[in-house]
């Protein structure tokens, strides 16, 4: 991602040039996914999406990190849906508990990675979630 002056967001992050307001909004973009706990999962996508859409044109670091949070939460949502569906289907054969366990493990991974990304964004680091589909460009 490049700013108006031609410098990249990553270069800004490594030089510490990202202002505290952008870092705070990037933190909010990541941590807004935690609203999924009270919204039945939908907030994991809606939270980062709203912050990204509101701030993407005025804050390049938030644009970058908002897309990252959105892509990560879409990826996790797909994984949980597939694993839960497979668990329900395979529960009849008594191996469904494995898929329910994997869905639980993915949920714990989501929580930990979301918190880590929020901390990194607050430090001004352009964080990249591992194992994430880059659906929003």
pLDDT tens for 19-57 read: 999 999 999 999 999 988 888 888 899 999 999 999 999
* DSSP 8-state class, residue 130: T
Contact at 8 Å (CB) between 96 and 88? Answer: yes
* DSSP per-residue letters across 23-66: HHHHHHHHHGGGGHHHHTTTHHHHHHHHHHHHHTTT-HHHHHHH
Q: How confident is the model at residue 40, as a pLDDT?
A: 81
Place of tokens 């352009």: 126
Q: How confident is the model at residue 95, as a pLDDT?
A: 65
- As a whole number of angstroms, the distance between CA 36 and CA 32 comes to 8
Contact at 8 Å (CB) between 51 and 62? Answer: yes
Q: How confident is the model at residue 96, as a pLDDT?
A: 63
- Identify the three-state secondary structure at position 134: coil
Q: Does the pLDDT value for residue 7 go beyond 70? A: no
Q: What share of the chain is helix, strand, coil (3-state, %, to 5)?
A: 75, 0, 25
Place of tokens 């930990």: 112
The model's pLDDT over 73-131, given as tens digits with 9 standing for 90+, comes to 999 999 989 988 887 777 766 666 777 888 889 999 999 999 999 999 999 999 999 98
């Amino acid at each position: 991602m490049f700013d108006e002056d031609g410098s990249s967001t990553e270069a800004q992050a490594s030089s510490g040039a990202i202002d505290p307001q952008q870092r705070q909004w990037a933190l909010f973009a990541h941590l807004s996914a935690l609203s999924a706990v009270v919204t039945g999962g939908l907030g994991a996508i809606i939270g980062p999406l709203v912050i990204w859409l509101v701030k993407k044109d005025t804050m390049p670091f938030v644009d970058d990190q908002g897309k990252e949070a959105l892509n990560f939460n879409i990826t996790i949502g797909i994984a949980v849906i597939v694993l839960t569906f497979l668990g329900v289907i395979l529960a009849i054969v008594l191996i469904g508990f494995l898929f329910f366990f994997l869905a639980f493990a993915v949920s714990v991974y989501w929580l930990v990675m979301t918190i880590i990304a929020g901390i990194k964004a607050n430090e001004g680091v352009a964080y990249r979630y591992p194992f994430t589909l880059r659906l929003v460009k």
